[in-house]
Structure 1
Amino acid sequence: MFGISPLGWVHTLGSLPAIPLAIYMFARHGRIVPRSRPGAIYFVSMSIGAASVFLVAHQPVSNAIGLVTLIVLLAGYGVGLTKRLGRAGVYIETILLTLSAFLLMVPTVSETLRRVPDGHPLVTDLNSPLLLGAQASLLVALLVGVTAQVIYLRKRRMSGVGF
């Protein structure tokens, strides 16, 4: 089904929970909260997806996205474990983890458009206007989202409310 191998299904289903978890945390907290139950499940799911891409990817760019995702994810979760960064730590953590969600969504949207509906995908060419438009929309969402998150965190800090 959808031309996905059994290992591809492990990759897909392993990383799939990260999407609704990210949406939930963005809606509820305005950011991915790493030291929470949804944040822990997000980390595991993202790790499975990013690590397994090396076993299923057919294009070098996929391996690069997987590697960058792992680095961003580990850095995003690791930044909160150090106090050296002070108040900047929560901003760096937020930006890195939001970037990890973006790096999940770029190949997710791309692969979905290239596989659905089964046998007659919406996109057959990587230069399709639909695919390029979807990827551009994700980039705009990232830029607007990170800007809104930084403003939100700054307002919380200025009003004396903790993170």
Structure 2
Amino acid sequence: MFGISQLGWVHTLGSLPAIPLAVYMFARHGRIVPRSRAGVAYFISMLIGATTVFLVAHQPVSYGIGAATIVLLLTGYGIGHVSNLGNAGKYLETILLSLTAFLLMVPAVSETLRRVPDGHPLVTDLNSPLLLGAQACILVILVVGVTAQMIHLRRQGRLAARSHHAKTFLE
């Protein structure tokens, strides 16, 4: 079905949960939160998808996306354990993990458009206006989303600082 091998189904079904998990965390927290249940499930799902891509990929760019996703994922999840970064760590973590969601969505949308409906896909050419438009939309969502996340984190930091100063003043 859809021209996907058994190993391809492992890759697809292994990485698929990352999409609703990312949407949930973006909606609930404004970012991917690594130290949460959803964040752990996202990490596992992304790792399955990013590592199995090397076994199912047919295009050289897929290897680059897989490798970049693994590096960004491990760095994004590890950066919270580096104590000397201060607030910069949360900003970096947010950017890196948002990039992993972007790198998940680009091939997910591309592969979906190139396989659905079964036997008569919406896109048959990688230069299709529909595919290029969809990828451009994903890029715009990334830029707008990361910008909004940075503004949100900055406001949270200011509110926390004001709260801390007010509490200290009252003591």
> TM-score, structure 2 length as denominator?
0.93
Amino acid in structure 2 at the alignment position of 1:146: V
Partner of 1:105: 105
Structural mapping, 1:1-150, within 5 Å: 1-150=1-150
Amino acid in structure 2 at the alignment position of 1:11: H
Report the Cα distance in structure 1 between the residues aligned to 2:102 and 2:129, rounded to whole angstroms: 20
Gaps of 5+ in 1: none
Q: CA RMSD in A?
A: 1.0
Q: CA deviation at 1:84?
A: 1.6
Report the Cα distance in structure 1 between the residues aligned to 2:100 and 2:80, rounded to whole angstroms: 15
Gaps of 5+ in 2: 164-171
Higher helix share: 2
Q: CA deviation at 1:70?
A: 0.3
Q: Deviations over 1:52-99 (max 9, x none)?
A: 000000111000000000000000001001112111000000000000
Q: Deviations over 1:10-49 (max 9, x none)?
A: 0000000000000000000000000000000000000000
Aligned length: 162
Largest Rg, 1 or 2: 2
SS at match of 2:83: coil
SS at match of 2:33: coil
Of 138-147 and 78-87, the range deviating more from structure 2: 78-87
SS at match of 1:80: helix
Instruction: State the identity %.
Output: 74
Partner of 2:153: 153
Amino acid in structure 2 at the alignment position of 1:87: N
> TM-score, structure 1 length as denominator?
0.98
Amino acid in structure 2 at the alignment position of 1:147: T
